[in-house]
Structure 1
């Protein structure tokens, strides 16, 4: 069951990349460049979060120019890559933004995400995450990483907060 009671104080969305925004696969081209595949529905939902709830950040254990590019396309304000101990970066970001851990929704899918998942207001993981990660989350999406799981999570949060009708009205636009 979705923990709607944890949604009212959320102000910051933080996302892992591999296994959350992507399916976790690493594709390399013939020159050694990395290719990542992102789901467009996740991108739309990230834009909704930014409009209705606040800033978004990425905290990834790996580094990739594709993540930087996608983050800029979506207007993601805080991008941290190559971060092995994610909680230390999250803690500094919270201090910078003058926020508390309870105001954070974090989506992560693997063991390096567990320290963050255990400390935030709303900890979410994906359907294909390892059991240890699922045990650390408040909620598990029905979708696997890279398959619109971020969209599923953000939609559930917006509905729990009573903001979903505003999103629908904005998407539908004015009558013609």
Structure 2
């Protein structure tokens, strides 16, 4: 089965944070707080996916509560931070929500994402992901992490499924 038909099966998006939803840069304040920058267009697509009934989850090794607040403000309820073994969280999430691996599009950018990416229906990565991840990805976004990669993959799935702009006036496809 090719890439586009597989997009029809996707019900669930799972994202890493650093290097996927952010560009991987971390600004450190004088008092030791870590600051990250999120792309507003990625945010629009994430909240739209939630509103359209997709499962959206975050699995990250990062621990910043600022990240959690940003994602929860977008309507994402399944936010797993401080994750050591992403595969354990992934398997638990699928069992809890009765989701098959084939229904998942996972976006990762580095070695901690590797095992999960080998198991999902579609493994995707930003254009600037490390080589090992690019080699196993079925889709490499033309956008870098934190620069529209999340928007790109969500939009592709939703357009194939006819859900991207179905309630927007004035769109012509």
- When normalised by structure 2's length, the TM-score is 0.92
Alignment coverage as a number of residue pairs: 169
CA distance in 1, matches of 2:15, 2:116: 11
Q: Which residue of 2 aligns with 1:78?
A: 78
Contact persistence 1:55–1:77 (CA under 8 A): no
Distance in 2, matches of 1:11 and 1:53, equals 8
CA distance in 1, matches of 2:135, 2:100: 23
List alignment gaps of at least 5 residues for structure 2: none
Runs of 4 or more consecutive aligned structure 1 residues displaced over 4 Å after TM superposition: none
Structure (1 or 2) with the greater helix fraction: 1
Aligned residue for 1:164, secondary structure, equals coil
Equivalent residues in 2 for 1:97-176, closer than 5 Å: 97-166=97-166, 169-170=167-168, 172=169
8 Å CA contact 1:34–1:66 kept in 2: the answer is no
How many Å apart are 1:5 and its aligned residue?
A: 1.2
CA offset at residue 77 of structure 1? 1.3
Q: Please tell me whether residue 56 in structure 1 is matched to residue 56 in structure 2.
A: yes
For residue 51 of structure 1, report the CA deviation from its aligned partner: 2.2
> Contact 1:12–1:53 (CA<8 Å) still a contact in 2?
no
Structure 1 residue 152: deviation in Å?
A: 0.9
